[in-house]
A = this chain, B = another copy of it.
Amino acid sequence: PRLDLLVLPGDGIGPEVVREGVLLLRELEPSLPAELHIREGAIGGAAVDEVGDPLPADTLSAALSAGAVFLGAVGGPRWENLPAERRPEQGLLRLRKEMRVFANLRPLRLPPELSFLSPLRLEILGEGGLDVLIVRELVGGIYFGEPRGIFVEGGERVAVDTLRYREEEIARVVDVAFRIARTQGKPLASVDKANVLASSRLWREVVEAKRAEYPDVPVRHVLVDAFAMDLVRRPTAYGVVVTENLFGDILSDLGGALVGSLGLLPSASLSEGGPHLYEPVHGSAPDIAGQGIANPAGMLLTVAMFLRHTLAAEDAASAVEAAVFATIARGRVTPDLAEACRRAHASGRCPAPEVLSTAEFGAA
Contacts and interface: CB of A to CB of B under 8 A. Distances in A.
A165 interface: yes
A344 to B, nearest CB: 11
A119 B121 CA distance: 6
Looking at A165, A256, A257, the one whose CB has the most chain B CB atoms below 10 A away is A257
Given A121-B120, A226-B253, A257-B233, A160 B168 contact: no
Nearest to A258: B232
Interface stretch (A49-57, A96-104, A150-158, A310-318): A150-158
Interface stretch (A32-40, A141-149, A267-275, A324-332): A141-149
Given A142-B197, A150-B198, A197-B142, A232 B119 contact: yes
A196 B119 CA distance: 28
Given A150-B198, A254-B229, A254-B254, A163 B162 contact: yes
B161 A199 contact: yes
A157 B161 CA distance: 20
Contacts of A258: 232
A interface bracket (residues with beta carbon within 8 Å of B)? 35 or more
A354 B59 CA distance: 67
A230 B262 CA distance: 13
Interface string A160-191: 11111111100000000000000000000000
A224 B256 CA distance: 14
A60 interface: no
Across the A-B interface, give the 4 residue pairs with the lowest CB-CB distance, nearest first: A159-B202, A229-B257, A225-B253, A159-B199
Interface of A: 118-121, 123-124, 142-143, 145, 148-150, 153, 156-168, 193, 196-199, 201-203, 224-226, 228-233, 246-247, 249-254, 256-258, 343
24 contacts: A119-B120, A123-B343, A142-B163, A143-B197, A148-B197, A149-B198, A150-B198, A157-B167, A158-B164, A158-B165, A158-B167, A158-B202, A159-B165, A159-B199, A160-B162, A162-B163, A163-B163, A224-B249, A225-B249, A228-B251, A228-B253, A229-B253, A231-B254, A250-B250
